[in-house]
Structure 1
Amino acid sequence: MEHTPVTPPSNQPALVNDNAYYPSKELLSNLAKQFQAPITRRAIRPGYIARTDGFDVNKAVADLEAHPGQEALLSRLLSVSDLTDKLYDRFSQNPNSLYNWYPAVQHALQKSSTELKSPDTKAMRLPIELAQFIRFEYQETSQADKELFNRFIFDQFELEDDKTYFIKTGTFSSKFQFANAKCSEPREMGEYFQVINNFAMEVGAGKTVDLVVREYIEDVEDNPTIYNGMPLRTEFRVFVNCDTDEVLGVVPYWHPIVMKRALKAGLAESIQADYLTYLAHEDKLTDEFNEHLSRVRNEINAILPNLNLSGSYSIDVMKNGDDLYVIDLALMSESALTELL
């Protein structure tokens, strides 16, 4: 399959930069014709999504939104439901999706005098049919269809053999199952994406139709790892107001109170090992956070005038040696750790 950037359908946002694109309908049609598993052939044809959950999702969403206090149930419903046109449009407009915010960050880094960096990044907005495909249970799709999707992902993202990537959906990285987020098997990346999105749906985070492939930043500090291979690097969560270009506060991403509470409560043997690893590394994380706090504040202040977003956000910054990388952004109202400001 050959990647040819095209103008997206009228119900899609315009392409925002050279690293974001939308597969053509012709390419999608050719792909859909090759699916073999009955569940896939029944549910996916160009322009068509079959209902499998047996109820009116749009009505259920409207009913929950009409009753305050149902946010958790609504999030769960949105995450696990089959896609409808309305649900697809809602997910496309999700401000927390990297597909939507990354161009603004990229622009700010390019236009500002800053040491901040960003990993090389490509983002794809899946058409509704393929967005539905990654919502199918991994175990229920045939190996032939998985391999077909693998080839699609490999070709469309122009991946390279023998290269390691960091991957995520538009809003969910599965960093707590880091073996899925760090992909060293690019020809199987489609399966990685399906597993990640299945897990996101289970935890109420399946509210995106975007996929992201990023440069994997190798750890140059030889930090210990937790969560199945994730280097425990010093990270900062910076809360900002983009309307006033103001830094509201900075907290450690791996905050001692939060980490000790979460890891100590873990029942799995691997989580208990992660708890001991964190305790042994806590002083280094704390010392480096304090040492680089002013620098991070100054660098974020430098990009805020060029960050063309409206409202308040959290911006995550990762330290790797002497380098600082902007790695994530989300609405402050939907971000963790605000209680620590």
Structure 2
Amino acid sequence: MESKSLSQVTQTQNARLNEGDYYPSKDMLAEMVKQFQAPVTRRAIRPGFIARTDGFDIDQTIEFLETLPDKQGVLSRLLSVSDLTENLYKRFSENPTSLYNWYPAVKRALYESDTELKTPDTKAMRLPIELAQFIRLEYHKTSQADKDLFNRFIFDQFKLEDDKTYFIKTGTFSSKFQFANAKCSEPREMGEYFQVINNFAMEVGAGQTVDLVVREYIEDVENNPTIYNGMPLRTEFRAFVDCEKNELIGVVPYWHPIVMKRALKVGLSESIQQDYQTYLRHEDKLTAEYNAHLSHVRKEIECILPNLHLSGQYSIDIMKNGDDFYVIDLALMSESALTELL
């Protein structure tokens, strides 16, 4: 593919954003919130209303924890479960791991580079603070009226289609271990899916985002077995890169045998034990395909790095589906699993 100038790319990207990707402005979403009518005061979704669950001074606590030398674990957990304030909302909006923040750079890099890598069609939305707080409330404690309102909001704002299957996630959490929630075939109830996913993300310390993502669902063309409640066990690669040095640090199998056996073997539930047996039967194929395509993946990652305008070190996840290779996720390397395998 012939390289293009920055101005040409910017024009093309803007056109594509208008045609496909969805990045609504804060003003657009704020205007949408103003249209909400909630005559019942116990309703959680109301214009200008943040449905707090406690009176905890999270801003002051964060300031204190930031001064501690060994703060990361406690701080991450606290941030994930706390009610939103304006300061916390701003902090989450700036989270570099959120797809809302890195996806435009990835899409541009793929467009500018002579690469075979793809990325799923993607729509991202940054929720206004009222709705970002709503999906932090426990699902079973919110009214059906609010759920219905949020369902309609999501369906309309993402311009969803009936009878279509989507892959959904928050800006930072894909809920792969509960894949039945991530694969949504009921678009008119997608708001409730998002609330359940975000509730679980908060429980595991991954609730540091105010963004939602809807992607095309990539149907498995290889007839792979499934684990984690319906997730196709496809060959995946995790590459670690330094974007400032344009350097590929290394690549490891996403479904690494040591990690997978350690994680699944000790699972107590019957479903996890079934997943363990499924993985063991599929391990040889995963390993063979990883080794067969490793050099190709390395070459494609090195190809896009000069055009990937991000700061710092990241992990990049690549999913194989037939002859296609998709960039499906990024995260800060410092917050990524599998670095020990390098």
TM tier, smaller: over 0.9
CA-to-aligned-CA distance 1:236-279 (integer Å, 9 cap, x gap) = 00001111111100000000000000001111110000000000
Paired AA for residue 21 in structure 1 = P
Q: Is 1:102 matched with 2:103?
A: yes
2:34 to 29, 36, 47: 29
| SS of structure 2 residue aligned to 1:49 | coil
The residue that corresponds to 1:10 in the other structure is none
| SS of structure 2 residue aligned to 1:163 | coil
Paired AA for residue 244 in structure 1 = K
Paired AA for residue 292 in structure 2 = E
Distance 2:62 2:265 in 1: 36
Gaps of 5+ in 2: 1-15
The residue that corresponds to 1:78 in the other structure is 79
Deviation of 1:52 after TM superposition, in Å, equals 2.7
Contact kept, 8 Å, 2:29 with 2:127, in 1: the verdict is no
Paired AA for residue 30 in structure 2 = K
The residue that corresponds to 1:215 in the other structure is 216
| Larger mean Cα displacement after TM superposition, 164-173 or 17-26 | 17-26
Distance 2:173 2:312 in 1: 21
Deviation of 1:232 after TM superposition, in Å, equals 0.1
Distance 2:337 2:326 in 1: 20
Distance 1:288 1:146 in 2: 43
> When the two structures are superposed, what TM-score results if normalisation uses the length of structure 1?
0.92
Deviation of 1:91 after TM superposition, in Å, equals 0.1
Q: Is 1:327 matched with 2:328?
A: yes
Deviation of 1:17 after TM superposition, in Å, equals 4.4
Distance 2:52 2:321 in 1: 46
| SS of structure 1 residue aligned to 2:240 | strand
Identical aligned residues as a percent: 75
Distance 2:53 2:221 in 1: 47
Equivalent residues in 2 for 1:210-289, closer than 5 Å = 210-289=211-290
| SS of structure 2 residue aligned to 1:145 | helix
Distance 1:208 1:180 in 2: 18
CA RMSD of aligned residues (A): 1.3
Q: Is 1:114 matched with 2:115?
A: yes
Contact kept, 8 Å, 1:36 with 1:145, in 2: the verdict is no
Equivalent residues in 2 for 1:1-341, closer than 5 Å = 17-18=17-18, 19=21, 20-22=23-25, 23-31=28-36, 33-34=37-38, 36=40, 38=42, 40=44, 44-341=45-342
Deviation of 1:26 after TM superposition, in Å, equals 2.4
| 1:217–1:37 distance in 2 versus 1, CA, 3 Å | farther
Distance 2:17 2:76 in 1: 30
| 1:291–1:183 distance in 2 versus 1, CA, 3 Å | same
Distance 1:177 1:202 in 2: 13
Q: How many correspondences in the alignment? A: 322
> When the two structures are superposed, what TM-score results if normalisation uses the length of structure 2?
0.92
Distance 2:214 2:111 in 1: 20
Distance 2:60 2:141 in 1: 27
| 1:58–1:116 distance in 2 versus 1, CA, 3 Å | same
Contact kept, 8 Å, 2:169 with 2:175, in 1: the verdict is yes
Contact kept, 8 Å, 2:97 with 2:332, in 1: the verdict is yes
CA-to-aligned-CA distance 1:177-199 (integer Å, 9 cap, x gap) = 00000000000000000000000
| SS of structure 2 residue aligned to 1:21 | coil
Distance 2:52 2:291 in 1: 52
